[in-house]
Structure 1
Amino acid sequence: MTSTTVVVVTWRGAAHITACLDALAAQTRAHRTLVVDNASDDGTAALLAAHPSKPEVLRLRRNTGYAGAMAAALDKVDTPLMAWLNDDAAPTPDWLATCEDTLTKAPLAAAVSARLTLPDGTVQSTGVRLTADGHGADLPEPVEEVFGFCGGAAVLDVEALRSVGGVPASYFCYYEDTDTAWRLRLAGWDVVSAEADVTHEHGASTLPGSARFHLWNERNRLLTLLRCAPRAVAIRQLVKFAVLTLVLPLRGKPAAPNFRLSLRCRVLGAVAARLPRTLVERRSVGRRATLGRGAVWEAWAGN
């Protein structure tokens, strides 16, 4: 019996998705492969149709980002487990088996994060930690339990995922994994790490460090805090972001794109526009929670 649907999200992935599909075809554990194509226009569709593994394809009419595509895929998943896999990631043959077995041995866990390694051999992530100011940051050191999973390569319990509200589709890209892990933890689930290796090109579809990257990253961090963090923490971090934005003109030329006044004003505008909806979502997250926001924050923030 197949336990896992491996979901691969792609957008203009013609240059690298074949390596991903080849690696999935070599897995030692049977699975279903579902590729969500975010309206690629670079020949990706032809490559998917021609690949010997014959993956199922869900082609979307527009680019909905990683978060939107994962949310669309969740509606099509009919297996107990769902793997999230970037299209520029190539797992070793035992990746899926190791992740499935790790979850089996940890009955209180709803997600397992794989070990992502960059092409130069540098470990990118074994999971996600929660910083003292509410950032989700990659954790390169191997630890058994992590705050959250890295969405580039992870396996999740589908029933648990659906019970906490699924994937935040409106995020488009970035922090959908941290937000999801946070809601799982609020609902009483654990997240673990596994020595399941995946080589990750990283940033093949989006350019880390670009203005667009920082816009999505900063916006979604603040939205995640508003949805999941204790009220005082969320307000403090939002005010801190706004105050720093206001004083930027006094500090001279910014050293990094995420400290550019125009970008940060766009972030604040986007958060303000989404605030009514986000507060409704916060109440929904609270209703599903079995642990207090403060308890989860104290246990993981800065640790």
Structure 2
Amino acid sequence: MSPDTQPAPVDDRHAHGSDAANDSRIIACILTRNEARHIQACLNSVSWTHAQMVVDCGSTDATVDLARARGAIVLHRDWDGWSAQRTFAINEAFRRGYRWIFFVDADERVPPELSTEATRVVEASDAAHAAGDTTAPVGFWVPRRNIIAGKWVRHAGWDPDYQLRLFRTDRGRYDPARPVHELVLLDGPDAHLEARLVHYNYDDWQHFWIKQQRYARIEAAARVSRGHRVRPHNFILQPWREFWRRYVTLEGWRSGTHGIILAILLAIAEFQTLRLAWANAASANQGRGGGGSRFHTPRSHPTPSPPLFVCSFLTKAGFIRSLRSRSPSQQSRGLSPPSHVPDPVPSDLPDFGNDPPDTVAVIVSYNVAPLLHECLASIAEAAEAGGITVHVVVIDNASSDHSIEVARANRNTTVVANTRNVGFGVACNQGIAIARAIGSEHVLFLNPDARLAPDALAALRTALETSPRHAIAGPDLRFPDGRPQPSRRRFPNLATLLVESTPLQWRGGGLDGSPRWPLIEPIIRRYQCADLADVPGTVDWISGACLLIRVTALAAVGGFDPAFFLYFEETDLAHRLRQSGWTCTFTPEARVFHHRSQSADQNIGARDRHYYASKMTYAARTLGTPLATLVRAEHVVLFGVEALWQSFRGNRAGARRYVALVRNLLA
């Protein structure tokens, strides 16, 4: 048979008759794709079988060559699912005259004691059947020793982990309805072996989670195809049930750190499966015009959140560090010039010749004309007081008031009128492109609802020049009445992302007169740098209401990431600058008065949607997908409970807001 031939994956053994395989010969079968690092050791461990067959689905490494060099039968078949691949292998083994097939994965090893036991039970079964004993087993369950992240896991459902891998080719077939974790349908009695198959399951926790994501996508599609109905309570009960089953019922707690990590990750994976099934079914329902679907779109989909002490425990265990994404594409995202910036450099820029302004002040405006006038006036006053040359650039994101007219009436101002709201990050990048075209050394990003004190610009400039590694200088923000407005922040960690801007903070963060919950208040105080004195110094990041940034630093990291439409764009920028060796300095001598959220609060629904979408994007970038999914699930639960509470209180508008938040988080 040619290695490139691909028969249909149908059960055709009846065409050969039941005596086509008439002795106790065993063939080992290994399904492969890019398994060069495993294939030789795996084949060595099954060399006791009468033949070894490798069914490859398109390896691009040395898998095929290594297998052939070991004397294996190598066949090629394009991937069509686990069940289809294994069915093809059974048919091929039967056609070649092998009565027994032993499926082994490339990352599994058959120790000598298992090979001895397998040979013995196969010979005994064939002898019994030859003597007319129809009760003899025709298939054998093989226990596995699962090695996960370097440790043999003996609990949480991972041991003994029986798999039906050794069976007669004329008596076993795979259920085509099971696309993942395939099921053998055996025609006859079965039995269990004692010797274990060693399974080097997952190299590390990142590898484990990548596999679980793939399984979640496959399982979600299968559930939708089966007409599975996702109901609101599923998002609470099923992940919690999975955690309880793994950690308590199956005694995962006996495996220590590995046990709790597995229980948490598998609970998150169940939530991810439900979320994908919800989205897939909703899309299918829309494609049918809303009719004929058994899927019911829920109002809210809560899921459980692990307590904060668990997060602390996992941090100490080094689990969080091991889950951080290390893919080059993620680490470098945003380090190249951002894409799809709409017409960043106007053709009518002033010609400054060899004497460009020191600073370009970039203001991204959206329907705040009265405050924009004050903002522009404060820039002119601060520039004159500090003896700094400034050119103002107003990027208007399709305002419907007279913001553009206010901007055009201002002296030394370039106005870019976008025809749609392109988001804060993209608009800032338009301003950066203009600053680079002009040749300025600094960019002042100032919200249109902010006003500089007369000496603020000079103080920021002085602070920036105190160190060549300072990329950003940020001021002391104040409300218009002079009250402090916290502007310094530490980079959000897992605890921060679980608590910040959730009912946990609003009810227990100790802010605005709220109670001070022992576990919550320290997280918020740390995040907002409440433990630091109001003195100049390096901080992680500063609110984007007012920032003075070096143009060279912006060019080094590619400016703002367009993935952040609104919110967290300055956090992400500061994080990437820190990774590139730059720092951010707090300048209390520079005072800026900020009304805060005058543009964003015009549409609360859109503000909420953009805020939490950006928060989830930042979580995925910095913590990795598994922990970002945990944050998302915890938010779903908190906002779902808050929606119920507001409804109970009769606050229908508040309930609708939190229901919308839940839906957005599950979209």
Q: Is the 8 A contact 1:214 1:258 kept in 2?
A: no
| Aligned mate of 1:153, from 535, 546, 569 | 546
Give 3-state SS (helix, strand or coil) of 1:221's partner: helix
Q: Which amino acid aligns with 2:375?
A: C
Match of 1:235 in 2: 626
Please tell me whether Structure 1 or Structure 2 has the larger radius of gyration of its CA atoms: 2
Q: Is the 8 A contact 2:364 2:427 kept in 1?
A: yes
The share of aligned pairs that are identical, in percent, is 24
Give 3-state SS (helix, strand or coil) of 1:93's partner: coil
Match of 1:213 in 2: 607
Larger RCO, structures 1/2 (Cα 8 Å, 6+ apart): 1
* Deviation by residue 1:189-243 (Cα, 9 ceiling, x = unmatched): 111111211111112111199332222111111111222x143xx5224223225
Once the two structures are superposed, the pairs formed by residues 78-157 of structure 1 within 5 Å of their partners are: 78=436, 79-132=440-493, 133-135=495-497, 138-139=528-529, 142-143=534-535, 144-157=537-550
Match of 2:341 in 1: none
Q: Is the 8 A contact 2:620 2:628 kept in 1?
A: no
Match of 1:55 in 2: 413
Q: Is the 8 A contact 1:219 1:268 kept in 2?
A: no
Match of 1:72 in 2: 430
Tell me the TM-score normalised to structure 2 length. Answer: 0.37
| Aligned mate of 2:556, from 150, 163, 170 | 163
Once the two structures are superposed, the pairs formed by residues 151-300 of structure 1 within 5 Å of their partners are: 151-195=544-588, 196-207=590-601, 210-227=604-621, 229-231=622-624, 234-245=625-636, 253-254=644-645, 260-269=658-667
State the Cα distance separating 1:182 from its structure 2 match.
0.8
> CA–CA distance in 1 between the matches of 2:488 and 2:642?
35
> CA–CA distance in 1 between the matches of 2:375 and 2:666?
37
> CA–CA distance in 1 between the matches of 2:613 and 2:404?
31
Larger deviation, residues 247-256 vs 177-186: 247-256
Match of 1:300 in 2: none
Q: Is the 8 A contact 2:643 2:656 kept in 1?
A: no
> CA–CA distance in 1 between the matches of 2:472 and 2:597?
23
> CA–CA distance in 2 between the matches of 1:150 and 1:100?
17
1:45 is the counterpart of 2:404: yes
Q: Is the 8 A contact 1:90 1:199 kept in 2?
A: yes
Give 3-state SS (helix, strand or coil) of 1:170's partner: coil
| Aligned mate of 1:34, from 393, 407, 410 | 393
Q: Is the 8 A contact 2:361 2:390 kept in 1?
A: yes
* Deviation by residue 1:156-178 (Cα, 9 ceiling, x = unmatched): 11221222231122322111111
State the Cα distance separating 1:127 from its structure 2 match.
2.3
Q: Is the 8 A contact 1:134 1:221 kept in 2?
A: no
Structure 2 gap segments, 5+ residues each = 1-354, 501-526, 647-653
Match of 2:364 in 1: 9
> CA–CA distance in 2 between the matches of 1:142 and 1:208?
32
Give 3-state SS (helix, strand or coil) of 1:125's partner: coil
* Deviation by residue 1:118-163 (Cα, 9 ceiling, x = unmatched): 0121111332223443448555662512111211001111221222
Q: 1:131 to 1:208 in 2, by over 3 A?
A: farther
Q: 1:168 to 1:258 in 2, by over 3 A?
A: farther
Q: Which amino acid aligns with 1:92?
A: A
Q: 1:3 to 1:251 in 2, by over 3 A?
A: closer
> CA–CA distance in 1 between the matches of 2:404 and 2:638?
48
* Count of residues in Structure 1 that have an aligned counterpart in Structure 2: 265
Q: Is the 8 A contact 2:476 2:487 kept in 1?
A: yes
Q: 1:263 to 1:123 in 2, by over 3 A?
A: same
Q: 1:167 to 1:258 in 2, by over 3 A?
A: farther
> CA–CA distance in 2 between the matches of 1:251 and 1:68?
33
> CA–CA distance in 2 between the matches of 1:110 and 1:259?
38
> CA–CA distance in 1 between the matches of 2:593 and 2:639?
39
Match of 1:23 in 2: 378
Q: Which amino acid aligns with 1:75?
A: A
> CA–CA distance in 1 between the matches of 2:616 and 2:567?
12
State the Cα distance separating 1:3 from its structure 2 match.
2.1
> CA–CA distance in 2 between the matches of 1:97 and 1:33?
16
> CA–CA distance in 2 between the matches of 1:222 and 1:56?
35
Q: Which amino acid aligns with 1:215?
A: R
> CA–CA distance in 1 between the matches of 2:448 and 2:640?
40
Q: Which amino acid aligns with 1:142?
A: D
Q: Is the 8 A contact 1:11 1:38 kept in 2?
A: yes
Q: Is the 8 A contact 2:620 2:627 kept in 1?
A: no
Structure 1 gap segments, 5+ residues each = 270-303
Q: Which amino acid aligns with 2:534?
A: P
Larger deviation, residues 23-32 vs 238-247: 238-247
> CA–CA distance in 1 between the matches of 2:484 and 2:445?
18
> CA–CA distance in 2 between the matches of 1:90 and 1:81?
19
State the Cα distance separating 1:21 from its structure 2 match.
0.7
RMSD, matched Cα: 2.6
Tell me the TM-score normalised to structure 1 length. Answer: 0.79
State the Cα distance separating 1:7 from its structure 2 match.
0.4
